[in-house]
Amino acid sequence: MLTFEGQKIQGSQNIVAKLTSLPFQQCKHNITTVDCQPSGPAGGMVVFVSGNLQLAGEEHALKFSQMFHLMPTPQGSFYVSNDIFRLNYA
């Protein structure tokens, strides 16, 4: 599940559709902070990221924060179970 600026989107196809429908083609992430915590007995991790987004052709960067929950797979990798993204307006 993805919560993007308050809009809840569930399912990988719907999430991909949302992200590919955003009104820009290029975006550079400049990460300022990353905080991680272990989550639950299954070996998951909660990750909180903050930083700036620079859209192509825009003078000013946008501040953002994002929290996501990583869950392990039997193959030894991780998938994003939950993701919350917000722009931080000053």
CATH number at 27 reads 3.10.450.50
CA–CA separation, 19 vs 16, rounded Å? 5
In tens, the pLDDT along 52-66 reads 999 888 889 999 999
Question: Which residue range is the domain that position 83 belongs to?
Answer: 2-87
What total number of domains does the chain contain?
Answer: 1
Q: What is the mean pLDDT of residues 27-47?
A: 94
Length of the chain: 90
Q: Is the pLDDT of residue 40 over 90?
A: no
**66 near 83, Cβ under 8 Å?**
yes
HSE of 60, CA atoms in CB hemisphere, 13 A? 5
CA–CA separation, 39 vs 9, rounded Å? 22
Q: pTM of the full predicted structure? A: 0.84
Q: Is the pLDDT of residue 90 over 80?
A: no
The DSSP code for 3 is E
User: 1: which strand partners?
Assistant: none
**How are beta strands 78-87 and 2-4 bridged, if at all?**
parallel
